[in-house]
Structure 1
């Protein structure tokens, strides 16, 4: 009886972990985290390459680099970043209908503590999650 109970608990724990990893929020975060690491390293051209098709239509690689340099330089290097929230939605203001995940990170930087970074992820036509927007305040 105890072995059956233990196996049932183990099965439920494994199932809940697997199901949680398949959620859009978790799938989008798996792409967003390494993408943010590239932003942190100043690899802006690479972040533009990895962005969604809709993102690339909005601005060129050069404009993206210019915007990131302007936005991130005053903050300095990242000291700590923690996911605060992740929300799945099928609509965003001024965006076409689709599948989106809005990820908000609470981040500390060398020159600014307690900043909020927001990464908007979009499921592209090829069904892959890709960044479609980034804001920091």
Structure 2
């Protein structure tokens, strides 16, 4: 990577499950610092980022667009959107508990839509792992 170039975020140690099917490597932001940082200071995302205890996100400081899925406490998708850098954001939803962020087009490719159930799987959940 060139000096000053932003890194690609991921891949993570977990696996994103969509309706029980493994679809991508996943990082999980559980600490307040990791939740605050999110995908800031990165140039792209490899896989996805699950941000716990995060009912909405903003794009202030981001350099590239992302897809987001807003989830309830059971991992059911309440809202799906593509957010653009600087001014994009999701509005707060009453039952929202977590947000999953990924590259533009990935949620559609993985079949994620309102009503889908997302979950965090371990590397052993992924049949392509190992």
Which structure carries more strand by proportion?
2
TM-score after normalising by structure 2: 0.22
TM-score after normalising by structure 1: 0.22
Which structure carries more helix by proportion?
1
